[in-house]
Chains A and B, each alone.
Chain A
Amino acid sequence: MSWQLRVVHRTGYHYTLPATTSYNEARLTPRSERGQTVVASRLDTTPATREYRYTDYWGTVVSAFDLHEPHTEFSVVATSVVTTSGPVSPVRTHTWADLYRPDVIDAYAEYLQPTAYTPRDAQLDQMAHRLSARTSPADAVFALTHWAREQLTYRPGSTGVHSSASDAWAAREGVCQDYAHVALVMLRAIGIPARYVSGYLYGEPRAEPGRTVRGESHAWVEVWTGGWWAYDPTNALAVGARHVSVARGRDYADVTPLKGVFTGGGTSTLDVAVHLTRLG
């Protein structure tokens, strides 16, 4: 099954006093890869800036731009049209013994280590081992993420972008970013290389072409069990035609959609709006 989606991701900064300079990096541009083809993508800023594009260590397209005139408003609009397909099937080629081979551990070491957002957690570690005791690695991915999903309550605003998996786990609530981080902690605890994916999800499974919905940035995980495959732990959902992936990394810090530093500006507020349109 194939969809075509248009994503319009608008971020607005508002400063109480004029900001004099601002340096920014956006990770908002999807790449063509297995499961999706980028038809068009662009990034516009107001005030206008000159975009510098590069590809980072993770293979993510980065747009960098800086501003040197006083401004109290600054907006970044990323627009892309992507043809998607799916759903993704789990890779079942590797056994636990295969995953624990030294060459596999060496190759995927950075996806097995704890990070600031995904620190080790004794309780999650113990549950991950218990739940995966009699499963294949691929089925363990389902067992772990389904269990965590039952434990957590989805509550927008309950956590922030700086919350770690431990914060969300302690509160037993969070948003997609937290579901993904908790999943990563558990998966890495049992030796499954796992990484964080940022992107978008079109919320309505049976939408007619032409329909626009208000969405949000989304996050899910990819795991390596002989090959990489994606899974959406927040929705217990195979990643497919409704997902558009943008960036990958060890955790949220590697994929931050928009980050910047500015001088002046007093205090700043931020609003984000994502609109997704099914084109076909």
Chain B
Amino acid sequence: MPPARPTTHSLAMGPHPTEELPRATGAPAMNDAPTLSVGLPHAEGLPSAAEWERLERGVAQRVRALDAFLSDVYGDTADARVLADGVLPRRLVTTSARFRREAVGISQPVRVVVASVDVVRDEHGTFRAIADDLSCPAWPAHVAPHLLRALRAVTRVADPVVLALAPSHSALARQPGVTTVAGRGLVCRENTVYHDNRRVDVLYRTVADDLLDPLHFQPDSAHGVSGLLNAARAGSVTLANAAGNGLGEDPLIHRFVPRLVEYYLGEHPILPVVDKETVHTTHFLPVNAAHQRFPDLSTAPSTADMSPVSLRLFAVNDGVSVTVLSDAVGITDLSTSNIPQRGSTVETTVLW
């Protein structure tokens, strides 16, 4: 690096600092990436290729388990299996402010089409999930084509009409065939949603639950569409993400997700969590190298983004497989060369 201290601006815009890190080039090489263990000074926090692979599987597994949980709780008005079996305390659901009873009975094949999962590294170097967004995560542009593909797949309709319901322009609308509409651009008629007299099959929405349907939630919402919830209930439109998904983000339910993995998937949980008990005792390591490369900038508030302790991953779920994508903004240094590409997978597709 030049001797002069780079400004934050030049840091962000210039050559990426991690280009100077020893790293694999060309073909994927699992062994070249740094491995992390306690006390090693080279622990810049960059996940090794093996760790990335594990993170992807862990995030995909977590999203599948949360989708199964939400389908169980919301899919039928009969008692949820998970509650009847006592897998988690019933009151965590029934007293959660994010549990939307209005959405109970809405059954759709996929409830979490796109999610973000934040992970941190504990002092032992283990990645742990700390927060999820199962409602409407703000995803980077490279997620859009995967999301559109998934949105087309989560309905039984062949060649479905996919729309984005958003208060302002949605980046999804840059995809071919997708339009962004405001609430007033849609009308429900006898449980079918129309846009310009065209039937809408899948609605990607960035409008919050509370504003989604004036008939069921805030009656004065200008962003929502009256009748939308019952159209989803009748099965004529698929909402992505489904109404009421915020329940799965509840911090009290968060710690039970590994148990939900075992319960719904019959799998060993890959991604542990940071829970209420350990959050105060965990010493989080930075997940990316910028912090170590420019220690003299570490006190400037504007550099906070350059040395994050949490990493955001995105998962796109089409009901058959879960695709895990990186946050290109935060970890552009993790190019394809660093990540093992797998030709075919059952549950997880790795696409960076």
Query: Which residues of A line the B interface, CB within 8 A?
Result: 21, 23-25, 50, 52, 54-59, 64, 66, 68, 105-107, 109-110, 113, 254, 259-261
Whole-angstrom CA separation of A54 from B230 in the bound complex: 9
From the candidates A52, A109, A254, name the one contacting B94 in the complex (CB within 8 A): A109
A254–B226 CA distance with the chains assembled, in angstroms? 19
User: Do B104 and A25 touch (CB < 8 A)?
Assistant: no
Q: For the complex, is B77 an interface residue (Cβ under 8 Å from A)?
A: yes
Q: Cβ of A25 and Cβ of B190 under 8 Å apart? A: no
A66 in contact with B190 given A23-B215, A107-B90 (CB within 8 Å): yes
Q: Is the CB of B230 within 8 A of A261?
A: no
Q: List 22 A-B contacts (CB under 8 A).
A: A23-B214, A23-B227, A24-B215, A52-B190, A52-B230, A52-B234, A54-B105, A54-B230, A54-B233, A55-B105, A56-B101, A57-B101, A57-B102, A64-B230, A66-B188, A68-B189, A109-B90, A109-B94, A110-B94, A113-B95, A261-B214, A261-B219
Distance from B195 Cβ to chain A, minimum over Cβ atoms (Å):
16
Q: Given the complex of chains A and B, what is the CA–CA distance between A263 and B176 in angstroms?
A: 34
Question: Are A106 and B89 in contact, with the CB atoms below 8 A?
Answer: yes
Contacts of A109 in B (CB 8 A): 90-91, 94-95
A64 to B188, CA, bound (A): 12
A53-B91 Cα distance, complex, nearest whole Å: 29
Give the Cβ gap from A265 to chain B, nearest Cβ, in Å.
14
Smallest CB gap from A259: residue in B: B215
> Judging by beta carbons under 8 Å apart, are A55 and B91 in contact?
no
Q: Distance (Å) between the CB of B155 and the closest chain A CB?
A: 20
**CB under 8 Å from chain A, chain B span 216-242:** 219, 226-227, 230, 233-234
Point out the residues of chain A lying under 8 angstroms from B77, CB to CB.
Answer: 55-57, 59
Q: How far is the CB of B269 from the nearest CB of chain A, in Å?
A: 24
Least CB distance from B252 to A in Å reads 12
Sample of 5 further A-B pairs with CB below 8 A, known A56-B105, A64-B230, A66-B190: A52-B191, A56-B104, A66-B226, A109-B91, A261-B215
> With the chains together, A54 CA to B89 CA distance in Å?
28
Which residue of chain B has the shortest Cβ distance to A50 in the bound complex? B190
Task: List, in ascending order, chain B residues with CB within 8 A of A59's CB.
Answer: 77
Residues of B within 8 A of A68 (CB): 189
- What chain B residues lie within 8 Å of A52 (beta carbons)? 190-191, 230, 234
Q: Compute how far the CA of A52 lies from the CA of B105 in the bound complex, rounded to whole angstroms.
A: 14
Contacts A56-B105, A261-B214 given; does A106 touch B90 at CB 8 Å: yes
Complex Cα distance, B215 from A254, in Å, reads 13
